[in-house]
Structure 1
Amino acid sequence: MKNFKRLALLFAFLLVVGVLAACGGSSEEEGSGSEDGGSGDSITVGGSSAMQPLVAAAAEEYMAENSDAQIDVQGGGSGTGLSEVAAGNFDIGNSDYFAETKDDIDAEELVDHKVAVVGMTAAAHPEVGVDNLSKDELKDIFTGEITNWSEVGGADEEITLVNRPDGSGTRATFNEFGLDGEEPAEGITEDSSNRVMQIVNDTPGAVGYLSFAYFERNEDIVPMGIDGVEPTDENVQSGEFPIWAYQHSYTQGEPEGLEKDFLDYMMSEEVQTTILPDQGYIPATEMEVERDAEGNESEIE
């Protein structure tokens, strides 16, 4: 009987020790989870491929200065940036156009951070023999009315159109402000601006559209002037060159933690005056004109 009581007491003691150990382990795990919120030092930023070089360069510099931070920068297009940040899959969603222009996005749930302005224009193969088009010629080329460069004073070369897919912010901006709302004819469709740049460079007679940043990376492809106005930062800032867009970084609600810190860094003097111009972008603060979500333009007083 005494041996039985001793065994019972030993069993009870071990049971209590086990329960306490389990509670202690659970408490420790819960504490470590709440300390960093599950994602305190890591965020995913994605969307607009026109913005990707800028955001990637800024993220690289930020992580060099903040070794405990991890910023994963992805592309996918502006539509992806908006839908993924709205769904909570991206911490920051990048877009070349306003969220209000997308019917399937609840823009009221998102906060807009205009980090830059980007100029865009038609990009042609180096040997087309043309570097300026009238607005009507530009529209006729992309809608398929003009099919050979000789029709606009260039080489006797058939025109090959290179488009971005639906959902691309670059496409939406080019269609609205370059083609006055007209849709381009069918051609080659590429998912990223990098691929458009490569196809245009390698395909005789090809023409697509790119942000100014990509002409910094490939000086062989031809950036088209429009109605005698050169595609320069200065002409975008003054409102003389028509094809441009804000570079939006959207968050779900007001940003906090690393999201806020990185967006603050994007607006810092280091990025706005050094990284941003080096990457071919225009600071929003240097614009002399502004646009709203409906595309209405006005002078900044």
Structure 2
Amino acid sequence: MKKTGLVVGVALLFALAGCQSQGAQGTASSSSSATKQTKIVAVGSTALQPLVEAAGQQYTEATPGADITVQGGGSGAGLSQVASGAVTIGNSDIFAQEKDGVDATALVDHQVAVVGIAPVIHPGVGVTNLSQAQLVDIFTGKVTNWNQVGGTDQPIVVINRAQGSGTRATFESLALKTDKVMTAQEQDSSGTVMQMVKSTPGAISYLAFSAIQTGVNKLSIDGIAPTDANVTTNKWVVWAYEHMYTKGSPNASTAKFINYIQSKKVQDALVKKMGYITITAMKVARTHDGKIEDVK
């Protein structure tokens, strides 16, 4: 009887241990489930890409289970892909209403920053300011040497962004006021444009303020300098909102990430640090059809 009791007692101990182990595993599973995040894929604007990448890295470090992938491709690609449901977020420098073939009514606009866009040149060009008419003449091919606009005697090398680029659409609409530009080499990303202008004598292109690094010079237009302060009042008119579009209302994980980028903490630190302008700094607002309104 004593031996039998001992066997039963040992069996009970193992059974209890097993129950405790299963209970512990169940708790861990529940905890894992509670912190599980939906995968977020953001595609589009290369002007906005660095900000979303940096914010995504910070967010994933602070948020267990967060899974965020950020890719470029241009604003057009971002809008088309989010509209089709292929990605979670479409990053764009332009309003969805400006993109042909996209049902803007199906998308929700989350504006996270503002970016100025400026013409940039190789430092050896020898000019600091162009009239708007001279800028148009350069990009339409009427002016082909820098000495025709007060610069050094060297050929002008125009570098353009590819079709579908929101930066290109904004520059053509607001700086050139025409999309009938000359055929020129086209690049898919802001980073590539930056490097090409820096390394190509006589080069001119355009970049978001946030993408401009040392090695190129920004140009004023009609005596107005491309500065953040001039953007906030629309004195410098070549600027755009940075949009993060979702198809319909975002799910909880996506909303949490977008809210994180829009938070005062990220806006005051990361957004400003990376060369973007906060939405709250703007003294004017622009509608999708180009109307400028005072911020109330």
**Is this a same-fold pair by TM over 0.5?**
yes
In structure 2, which of residues 44, 50, 70 is the aligned counterpart of residue 53 of structure 1? 50
Residue pair 2:37, 2:65 contacting (<8 A) in 1 also: no
Aligned to 2:97: 100
| Counterpart amino acid of residue 230 in structure 2 | N
> What's the secondary structure of 2:102's corresponding residue?
coil
Alignment of 1:32-181 (within 5 A): 40-181=37-178
Which amino acid counterpart does residue 53 of structure 2 have in structure 1?
Answer: A
Question: 1:228-243 alignment to 2 at 5 Å?
Answer: 228-243=223-238
Over residues 4-55 of structure 1, what are the superposed CA-to-partner deviations in whole Å (9 max), with x where a residue is unaligned? xxxxxxxxxxxxxxxxxxxxxxxxxxx99xx68xx83321011001101111
Deviations 1:75-116 (A, max 9, x none): 000000001111111101011101011220011110001111
Separation (CA, whole Å) in 1 of partners of 2:219 and 2:261: 29
Aligned with 1:246 (options 241, 247, 255):
241
Alignment correspondent of 1:265: 260
Shift of 1:289: 1.1
- How many residues get paired? 267
Distance 1:115 1:193 in 2: 19
1:225 is aligned to 220
What is the identity percentage for the equivalent residue pairs of Structure 1 and Structure 2? 46
Could you tell me how far apart the structure 2 residues matched to 1:150 and 1:254 are? 53
Which residue of the partner structure matches residue 10 of structure 1?
Answer: none
Q: CA deviation at 1:297?
A: 1.3
- C-alpha displacement of 1:179: 0.3
How many angstroms apart in 2 are the aligned matches of 1:105 and 1:41?
A: 25
Letter in 2 for 1:145: K
Unpaired runs of 5+ residues, structure 1, are 1-30
What residue identity is the alignment partner of 1:45? A
The secondary structure found in structure 1 opposite 2:289 is: coil
List runs of 5+ in structure 2 lacking aligned partners.
1-28
SS where residue 127 of structure 1 aligns?
A: helix
Counterpart residue identity of residue 254, structure 2 = E
Distance of 2:38 and 2:254 partners within structure 1: 9
Structure 1 counterpart of 2:272: 277
TM-score between both structures, scaled by the size of structure 1: 0.85
Question: Equivalent residue for 2:290?
Answer: 295
Q: Secondary structure at the match of 1:178?
A: helix
**What's the C-alpha RMSD, in Å, of the aligned pairs?**
1.8
Aligned position for 2:250 = 255
Mapped to 2, the partners of 1:235 and 1:60 lie a distance apart of 31
The residue type equivalent to 2:222 in the other structure is D
> What amino acid is aligned across from residue 153 of structure 1 in structure 2?
G
For residues 257 and 181 of structure 2, the distance between their equivalents in structure 1, rounded to whole angstroms, comes to 37
> What's 2:21 paired with?
none
> Matched residues in 1 for 2:73 and 2:274: separation?
19
Deviation at 1:67, TM superposition (A): 3.4
Q: Work out the CA distance in 2 between the residues paired with 1:102 and 1:211.
A: 20
Report what 1:24 is aligned to.
none
Structure 1 equivalent of residue 185 of structure 2 = 188
Q: One-letter code of the match for 1:235? A: N
Aligned amino acid, residue 65 of structure 2: D
Contact 2:78 2:90 in 1 (8 A): yes
Amino acid at match of 1:143: T
Instruction: Measure the CA separation in 2 of the matches of 1:53 and 1:63.
Output: 15
CA distance in 2, matches of 1:210, 1:183: 19
Deviating beyond 2 angstroms after TM superposition, the runs of 4 or more aligned structure 1 residues are none
